Amino acid sequence: MSREECCRSGRLGTSWTEEDVPNSTLFRWMIFNGGAPNCIPCKGSSFISQTCDNVDCGPGKSCKMNRRSKPRCVCAPDCSDVTWKGPVCGSDGKTYKDECALLKSKCKVHLDLDVQYQGKCKKTCRDVLCPGSSTCVVDQTNNAYCVTCNRICPEQTSPQQFLCGNDGIIYTSACHLRRATCLLGTSIGVAYQGKCISK
């Protein structure tokens, strides 16, 4: 690969060397020498200008110039579609000042973070308006979450899947227990595996 081809990628931290080396050798150089000998950084070269023009940061991020005039990828979610301007409760149980702040946290740390409902996170389902066809459920840690109840569970299950709920009812599978929890609106914990034993 020529220096031009290597440096044209636009990735930050890209360097080029004349030597053709296997990954194992490159790995050893990185560990023991801090990098390849005679390695020429692309930045500052004539192939890539020190701008954000050729930098692809991926979804939810954009390129910004830092204080030293170097391109840097930062979280910059597109909040143009956000209509609710107040606080939101995230799927991690934390309150965010608005949906844009949640999207920024999703970009930085929690890739699976979503909005549960509008407003501050609550300990009860009172005044929680869940989006779409989802229903509010209070979990075992007394946090309110929005879940979808229209779960289809298998009609026939094996006795090994039976669970005894904390409510003393036998559930034929974990799916059936989750569906009952959803419809009830409060958590039904698992007392133990198997059928409930009456005392």
Q: What per-residue confidence (pLDDT) applies to 186?
A: 79
Q: What per-residue confidence (pLDDT) applies to 6?
A: 63
Q: What per-residue confidence (pLDDT) applies to 72?
A: 86
Please answer whether residues 172 and 162 qualify as being in contact, where contact means their C-beta atoms are separated by less than 8 angstroms. yes
Structure tokens at 74: 């930062």
Q: Show the domains of the chain with their CATH numbers.
A: 3-75 (3.90.290.10)
Q: What per-residue confidence (pLDDT) applies to 100?
A: 92
Q: What per-residue confidence (pLDDT) applies to 134?
A: 84
Q: Which residues pair with 95 in a beta bridge?
A: 89
Q: What per-residue confidence (pLDDT) applies to 46?
A: 45
Q: What is the mean pLDDT of each run of 10 residues along the chain (199 residues)?
A: 59 62 67 60 52 82 83 87 91 92 86 89 91 83 82 84 92 87 83 88
Question: Which among 66, 64, 71 has a CA at the least distance from the CA of 50?
Answer: 71
- Sheet strands (E) in 47-166: 61-65, 71-75, 88-90, 95-96, 115-118, 134-138, 144-148, 163-165
Q: Which pTM does this prediction carry?
A: 0.54
- Exposure of 142 in the CB half-sphere (CA atoms within 13 A): 1
Q: What per-residue confidence (pLDDT) applies to 39?
A: 60
3-state secondary structure at position 166? coil
